[in-house]
């Protein structure tokens, strides 16, 4: 049996056209091997990197900018750079990279930046659950929640405090739990983020909270716990495509090939790339 994934399989799995895949290969961002018939064969690591490129495409970054940024990023990283701790993300209309959850910079011009939203830590593209939006209400907790949303980009520390005020008024406020945990995680306050998620889950099972907890546990190098959290997230919310993708990566790393294929197949069906 030929190892790896074919160009056709990668295109179907990730929803990327042959032209985009070809340009990413030409840019040197992935270096697939050749099969017995000289066809391209991609590793699971290649899939992870290409998934990052897909995330940038979905964030409406122009393909020319993706290719330029990834080409320059590849040139700036060591030849065998590990993926652990590397994040490739979209901030507005820019491609941003961060390392070990700390310094963030743009490969286009080397400029350092402060904020990020879409992450690929530990060699996986792990989208945090979406920020929760407010519902129309005049309650004190919803007023504080709206304040937290407004402060996230300009004053994240103040946003954290706003979300904490919400939780003092309503400890089970789902939106505040999701957004507070995500903000704390992004700012490197990992243990605080875990506490927020676990306290929130004590009020009831929730797929987004479990998914975000799983991402956090991977960043804490607690892969077995992360896998359990992804599985629990899929029980609560079976349509979480990225949970399947991340769980497939964990299964692949442990040699659980059949489980990895099963989750990749579920990911494919959920994203419409049949």
Q: So what's the pLDDT on residue 156?
A: 87
pLDDT of 30-81, one tens digit each? Answer: 778 888 888 888 887 777 778 777 777 777 777 777 777 766 665 555 444 4
Q: State how many domains the chain has.
A: 2
pLDDT for 177 beyond 80? yes
Residue 59 maps to a domain: yes
Q: Are 102 and 10 within one domain?
A: yes
Instruction: Give the mean pLDDT of 80-105.
Output: 58
Domain that holds residue 85: 5-127
With cut-offs at 50, 70 and 90, classify the pLDDT of residue 90.
low
Residue 60 located in a structural domain: yes
Alpha helices in 132-188 (DSSP H): 140-151, 156-169, 174-186
Structure confidence at residue 239 (pLDDT): 87
Domain end (from 71, 98, 127):
127
**What six digits make up the tokens of 94?**
């820019």
Q: Give the pLDDT mean for 76-91.
A: 55
Residues 110 and 59 in one domain: yes
- Predicted confidence (pLDDT) at residue 187 exceeds the cutoff of 70: yes
135 in any annotated domain: no
Q: Which of the pair, 237 or 22, is modelled with greater confidence?
A: 237
Instruction: State the pTM of this model.
Output: 0.62
Q: Look at residue 202 in the predicted model and tell me its pLDDT.
A: 94
Q: How far is CA 68 from the centre of its chain?
A: 21
Do 91 and 187 belong together in one domain? Answer: no
Query: Of 95, 127, 159, which residue is a domain's last?
Result: 127
Residue 134 lies in a domain: no
Do 185 and 123 lie in one domain? The reply is no
CA–CA separation, 49 vs 160, rounded Å?
31
CA distance 22 to 13: 16
């Amino acid at each position: 049996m030929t190892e790896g994934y074919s160009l056709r399989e990668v295109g179907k799995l990730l929803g990327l056209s042959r032209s985009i895949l070809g340009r990413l290969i030409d840019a040197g961002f992935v270096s697939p091997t050749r099969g017995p018939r000289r066809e391209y064969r991609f590793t699971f690591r290649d899939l992870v990197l290409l998934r990052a490129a897909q995330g940038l495409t979905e964030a409406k970054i122009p393909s020319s900018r993706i290719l330029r940024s990834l080409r320059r990023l590849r040139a700036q990283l060591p030849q065998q750079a590990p993926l652990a701790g590397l994040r490739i993300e979209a901030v507005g209309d820019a491609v941003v990279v961060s390392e070990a959850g700390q310094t963030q910079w743009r490969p286009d011009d080397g400029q350092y930046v402060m904020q990020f939203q879409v992450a690929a830590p530990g060699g996986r593209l792990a989208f945090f659950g979406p920020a929760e939006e407010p519902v129309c209400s005049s309650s004190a907790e919803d007023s504080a929640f709206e304040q937290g949303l407004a402060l996230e980009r300009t004053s994240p520390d103040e946003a954290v405090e706003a979300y904490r005020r919400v939780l003092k008024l309503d400890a089970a406020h789902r939106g505040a739990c999701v957004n507070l945990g995500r903000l704390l995680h992004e700012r490197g306050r990992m243990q605080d983020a875990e506490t927020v998620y676990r306290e929130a889950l004590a009020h009831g099972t929730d797929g987004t909270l479990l998914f975000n907890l799983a991402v956090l546990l991977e960043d804490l190098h607690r892969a077995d716990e992360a896998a359990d959290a992804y599985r629990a997230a899929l029980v609560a919310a079976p349509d979480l495509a990225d949970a399947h993708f991340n769980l497939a990566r964990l299964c692949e790393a442990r040699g659980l090939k059949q489980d990895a294929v099963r989750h990749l197949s579920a990911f494919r069906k959920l994203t419409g790339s049949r």
